[in-house]
């Protein structure tokens, strides 16, 4: 059973999808043992506490240059095998990503390589997709390296775009139809394949 840490900054809907997938037996080769947030008021921390999961807050502004050192220390002290970035609004450097190579996964709300990389997060991704006029978008789970959204793709799922979509309606549909489905599946796959 692999120890999973989920890194969060906001509401924690993707965290909740993983917690639900554990309960439903979809994620069975690993268990969330730690939730870390850079935001002390993230609702994701409440979700974790409600599920009996240990939480840690590492405030990036306060820690400044020692943020990643503290993050590495926290991962090692808790014997973390797999790290999931679930709406974690911090770019991690090569110092961190190389330390946990092929053990950090992220979910991105588009079909990479479209609408990804620096500046593409949250509603910005869906605004760009609608502005460009694509007919299909979706979500991608990928390994994390030092390049934002640059790691090897693990899983993708397409979602159709409708004519009357707004960035908000599209974001909701991508979460419900793609992110919340493939993130737990990809996590189980990575946990199962990790030696």
Among 108, 124, 126, 142, the active-site one is 108
Whether 18 contacts 50, CB under 8 Å: no
Gap between the Cα atoms of 120 and 128, Å rounded: 9
Whether 102 contacts 123, CB under 8 Å: no
Gap between the Cα atoms of 100 and 161, Å rounded: 35
Structure tokens at 185: 């599946």
At residue 181's C-alpha, the angle toward residues 178 and 183, to 5°, is 95
Note if 124 is an active site residue: no
Gap between the Cα atoms of 37 and 57, Å rounded: 5
**Active site amino acids:** 108
């Amino acid at each position: 059973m692999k120890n999973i840490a989920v890194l969060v900054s906001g509401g924690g809907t993707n965290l909740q999808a993983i917690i639900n997938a554990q309960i439903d037996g979809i994620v069975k080769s690993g268990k969330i043992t730690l939730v870390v947030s850079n935001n002390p008021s993230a609702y994701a921390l409440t979700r974790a506490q409600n599920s009996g999961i240990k939480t840690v807050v590492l405030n990036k502004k306060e820690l400044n240059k020692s943020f990643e050192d503290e993050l590495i220390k926290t991962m090692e002290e808790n014997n973390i095998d797999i790290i999931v970035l679930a709406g974690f609004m911090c770019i991690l450097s090569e110092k961190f990503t190389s330390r946990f190579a092929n053990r950090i996964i992220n979910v991105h709300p588009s079909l990479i390589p479209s609408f990804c990389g620096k500046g593409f997060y949250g509603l910005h991704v869906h605004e760009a997709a609608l502005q460009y006029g694509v007919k299909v978008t979706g979500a991608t789970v990928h390994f994390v390296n030092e390049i934002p959204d640059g790691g090897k793709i693990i899983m993708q799922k397409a979602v159709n775009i409708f004519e009357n979509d707004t960035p908000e309606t599209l974001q909701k549909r991508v979460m419900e139809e793609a992110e919340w489905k493939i993130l737990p599946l990809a996590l189980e796959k990575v946990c199962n394949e990790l030696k």
